[in-house]
């Protein structure tokens, strides 16, 4: 069992960590429990009623957070020619073709999102062993394989985030910073929940949103009642 620090334990004693809270209550609690000396990220973890081992029940995609992420998103773009120029102008930190692929293969992973133009996928495909385990492999389903790389750079830097189920059916997604207002966090959480519901596989049976927990980087998890998860409508 993981050991936690004094601040975490103190925070965990300040609320009912076994009780189910409305989304509004949970967001207020998470903000009040964030006590680190940096601006903590607020994350939502949802346990979905799917079997990700089945291809038709893998939940994966992207969602634009209306209030942004509050962080600097570092982007690497695999492109050449005019597409590469456009990606640089859009603010991508790393842009290249075979040279960028060689750098990544050599251990350069100083980025949060990887985007590729379709013509670069034969080169990028060889990086599967490096990018795959880190969730960085470009994929058409998430808009990270696209002929309009500049637009994709702007979207990810502007608040677009990727989500995907892990092997246990959990989705982990940052929805902002502890310094955000409750209204902005609620706006982002609402957009994410709407998107996850939209992405529900037709083959998924039973309850879909089984468990939802909100937490800040260093804070304890606050359980959200899945029945009262429509942000802004329950209180």
**Domains annotated on the chain, with CATH:** 6-69+160-228 (3.30.190.20), 75-157 (3.40.50.790)
What pLDDT, on the 0 to 100 scale, is given for residue 1? 43
Q: Which has more pLDDT, 199 or 227?
A: 199
pLDDT at residue 135, as a whole number: 87
- Computed over every residue of the chain, the mean pLDDT equals 90
The pLDDT tens digits for 5-56 are: 665 656 556 666 778 999 999 999 999 999 889 999 999 999 999 998 898 9
Per-residue pLDDT, 141: 87
**pLDDT over 90, % of the chain:** 77
Identify the CA nearest to 160 among candidates 76, 68, 226: 68
Rounded mean pLDDT of 223-228? 87
Q: Which of 87-91, 123-127, 139-143, 176-180 has the lowest mean pLDDT?
A: 139-143
Q: Is the pLDDT of residue 235 over 60?
A: no
- Please state, for a pLDDT cut of 70, what percent of the chain lies above it: 91
User: Is residue 185 within 8 Å of 216, Cβ to Cβ?
Assistant: no
Map the chain to HEC letters: CCCCCHHHHHHHCCCCCCCCECHHHHHHHHHHHCCCCCCCEEEEEEEECCCCCCHHHCCEEEEECCCCCCCCCCEEEECCCHHHHHHHHCCCCEEECHHHHHHHHCCCCCCCEEEECHHHHHHHHHHHHHHHHHCCCCCHHHCCECCCHHHHHHHHHCCEEEEECCCCCEEEEEEEECCCCHHHHHHHHHHHHHHHHHCCCCCCCCCCEEEEEEEECCCCCEEECHHHCCCCCCC
Q: Tell me, what's the pLDDT at 45?
A: 97
Which residues on neighbouring strands pair with residue 212, listed in sequence order?
46, 224
pLDDT at 133 over 80: yes
For the record, the structure tokens of 181 come out as: 């207002």
Does the pLDDT value for residue 98 go beyond 90?
yes
What pLDDT sits at residue 12?
A: 56
Q: Quickly state the pLDDT bin for 3 (edges 50, 70, 90).
A: low
């Amino acid at each position: 069992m993981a050991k936690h620090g004094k601040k975490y334990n103190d925070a965990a004693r300040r609320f009912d960590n076994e009780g189910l809270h409305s989304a509004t209550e949970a967001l207020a609690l998470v903000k009040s429990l964030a006590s680190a000396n940096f601006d903590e990220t607020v994350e939502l973890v949802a346990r979905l009623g799917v079997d990700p081992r089945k291809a038709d029940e893998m939940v994966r995609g992207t969602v634009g957070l209306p209030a942004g992420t509050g962080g600097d998103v570092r982007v690497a773009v695999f492109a050449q020619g005019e597409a590469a120029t456009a990606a640089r102008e859009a603010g991508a930190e790393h842009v290249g073709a075979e040279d960028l692929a060689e750098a990544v293969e050599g251990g350069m992973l100083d980025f949060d999102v990887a985007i590729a133009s379709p013509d670069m996928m034969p080169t990028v495909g060889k990086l599967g062993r490096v990018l795959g385990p880190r969730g960085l492999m470009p994929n058409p389903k998430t808009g990270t394989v696209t002929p309009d790389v500049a637009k994709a750079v702007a979207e990810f830097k502007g608040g677009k985030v990727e989500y995907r189920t892990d092997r246990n059916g959990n989705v982990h997604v940052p929805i902002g910073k502890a310094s955000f207002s409750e209204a902005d966090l609620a706006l982002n959480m609402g957009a994410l929940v709407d998107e996850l519901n939209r992405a529900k596989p037709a083959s998924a049976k039973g309850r879909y949103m089984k468990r939802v927990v909100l937490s800040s980087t260093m804070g304890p998890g606050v359980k959200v009642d899945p029945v009262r998860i429509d942000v802004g409508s329950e209180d």
